[in-house]
Amino acid sequence: MSATIRPTAPRFDARDALSIALVLVVLAIYVVRTFDFTLVPYEDAAILMRYSDHLARGYGIVWNIGEAPVDGATDFFLMFTLAMLGKLGMTIDMATYVLGFASHALTVALIYVGVRNVSGAPRWMAVLSALFLALGAGVRYVEAYFGTPYFALFSAMAWVLATRAYWRGESTRVAIGFACSGLLLGLTRPEGVFLAAFMLVALVATRGFAASRKMLLWFAAIFGVFGSAYFVWHWKHFGYPLPNTYYIKGSGTLHWGHLMGGVRHIVALALPLLPLLVYAVLAELAVARRFSRDQVFVFLPLVLFTVLGVLHEGLMDYLHRFQYGLLPIVLIGWPVLLMRVLELWRGDENAAPSAQRTRLAAVLAALFCVGSIAYQVDTFPAGRHKFWGTHNVAQILADYSTDYTIAVTNAGHLPYVSGWKAIDAWGLNDQTIAHDGLSEAFLDRYKPEVVQFDDRYEAVLGESKSQLPWAAGTRVLRAYVAKNDYVLAAAFGVSPYKTHYYYVRRGFPESEEIARRIATVDYYIGGFPTRCFDYSRLVSD
């Protein structure tokens, strides 16, 4: 590997502060012009919000109030932060907005600092990277109530500090900051532990063990003390070492199909910038005939974290959110690699004259800026999940007693908005179901007043052979309502192959009223713009 060309890092000055302020103004205008504040939380986001709400109200980390703790939220530190904002008087919906916007704005500023004042790249590169992040998927995550920008904030913190150590050498302050950022990254999402470790691996691989000694020691110390303490507490408190969802989504197998999916996701997130990274690598190979340390430093965490995707199925990867934590690495990395190419050009006698290169670079930079911003705005439009029938039904159920129970396969809106006790038939939020599966005996403990499941419409298509994930739970629900005293209130579908069933148990006071009200809902299934047809009418009519 060739030697690293160390850029001169300019001090942060008034022009840098003005540049960041202008980027944030553009972000604010973009939010005002495009953000849809009428949208309800995305289905998966509502799951974490239910946990945050229960914790904020003093019930602990529980799915159902009064029951044993369960870690179905996965994003522990995000859930904790939202709950703390809830204790300050915010609703969980408002807290999610506040935390999301603040995290996104801070990450935009960090990207600028990382490019300009840590890596020493020109100001226009820092502005472009900051704008690219500002106008991208982060705003849409906030719109959908996802906490992804919070994860990206800690990823950016860790990578800026790792980059600082790479260029300037390690110091105690940088080492402690990196280890703490990595710890928060891991507490926010479990895979954050691996992302932080991969950043450290990239640093050690390029600088060597001796030059990375402080980074390694502080990382090991902070993770050894605080990380181990959290792990032991988690295992003791919840009864299992990993979040409940990992026993469902991981399934103990390698998901090689998601490996290529992960590659496609990071390409979609950073497409206009990736050609610059590839070009920088190829250009250096053409001139220097070798890879540089800079290239290894940037690409190693990207490759390792993408490969990590084989451990889970990647379901609910809304707008590539599971790979979004890699974007700070790309945004801070591409200027460094492009600067190396410019340095090599200066030493190449066959390169074009300096004036020609400058004019060509100016034209390409202008086109690239316009193209990048247009790509972001076009790829991540507002209102992608405007209609949710599950949310409409949940609002109806919220009018009735929270002592009632609903059994669901769609465990977002229906439990969170209704406030009912809930059985998650797929086991994401129930440890018994996650490890032993759903059974009719388990359902008999609750005798749920309403049962909802996602399946094909059997009356038209014949016996269900659902290929949905964790389809066993769906089949148990279908068998349970058939054997017990339930009435089919509605079977909403965009087609017979994609249908949401609603059954209501006979015999409790509001049974007929609830069934009648559910049948009147204007129902949409998330991701489909077409209003659903109630296939149960094919039988009743």
What is the structure's pLDDT at 3?
Answer: 45
Task: State the pairing for strand pair 498-505/486-495.
Answer: antiparallel
Bridge partner residues of 504 (DSSP): 450, 487
In total, the chain counts a number of residues equal to: 541
Q: Is 407 helix (H, G, I), strand (E, B) or coil?
A: strand
In this predicted model, what pLDDT tens digit does every residue of 484-527 receive, in sequence order?
999 999 999 999 989 999 999 999 999 999 999 999 999 999 87
Low-confidence ranges of the chain (pLDDT < 70): 1-8, 250-259, 287-289, 310-315, 342-370, 372-373, 383-385, 459-470, 539-541
Measuring CA to CA, which residue among 383, 379, 414 is closest to residue 514?
Answer: 414
Distance CA 275, CA 285 (A): 15
Burial tier of 155 (Cβ tally within 10 Å: 0-12, 13-18, 19+):
buried
Measuring CA to CA, which residue among 49, 177, 158, 160 is closest to residue 114?
Answer: 160
Q: What is the DSSP string of 442-478?
A: HHHHH--SEEEEEE--HHHH-S----STTHHHHHHHH
Tell me phi and psi for residue 334, to 5 degrees. Answer: -65, -40
CB contact set of 388 (below 8 Å; sequence gap of 6+): 40, 43, 413, 524, 526
Distance CA 220, CA 241 (A): 20
What is the structure's pLDDT at 353?
Answer: 45
Structure-token pair, residue 126: 């820092």
Q: Are 47 and 429 in contact (CB under 8 A)?
A: yes
Q: Which residue is associated with the tokens 């006979």?
A: 506
What is the structure's pLDDT at 2?
Answer: 47
Q: How far is CA 111 from CA 36, 119, 134, 335, 403, in A?
A: 26, 11, 10, 11, 48
What is the structure's pLDDT at 349?
Answer: 45
Q: Report the b/e string of 242-269 with b at 16+ CB within 10 A.
A: ebbbbbbbeeeeebeebbebbeebbebb
Residue ranges of the domains in the chain? 14-379, 389-540
Structure-token pair, residue 9: 């890092």
In this predicted model, what pLDDT tens digit does every residue of 263-316 receive, in sequence order?
888 888 887 777 777 777 777 777 666 778 888 999 999 999 988 876 666 667
Structure-token pair, residue 188: 């926010």
Q: Which residue is associated with the tokens 């949710």?
A: 388
Q: What is the dihedral of CA 49, 51, 57, 58, to 10 degrees?
A: -160
Distance CA 62, CA 44 (A): 16
pTM more than 0.85: yes
CB contact set of 271 (below 8 Å; sequence gap of 6+): 375, 379
What is the structure's pLDDT at 539?
Answer: 63
What is the structure's pLDDT at 255?
Answer: 62
Distance CA 488, CA 478 (A): 11
What is the structure's pLDDT at 350?
Answer: 47
Q: Is 520 helix (H, G, I), strand (E, B) or coil?
A: coil
Bridge partner residues of 503 (DSSP): 451, 488
Q: Where does 311-439 have alpha helices with state H?
A: 327-346, 354-379, 389-397, 413-418, 431-436
Distance CA 167, CA 293 (A): 11
Measuring CA to CA, which residue among 134, 138, 133, 150 is closest to residue 48?
Answer: 150
Measuring CA to CA, which residue among 166, 121, 164, 160 is closest to residue 19?
Answer: 121
Distance CA 127, CA 359 (A): 20
What is the structure's pLDDT at 309?
Answer: 75
Q: Which residue is associated with the tokens 């960090």?
A: 110
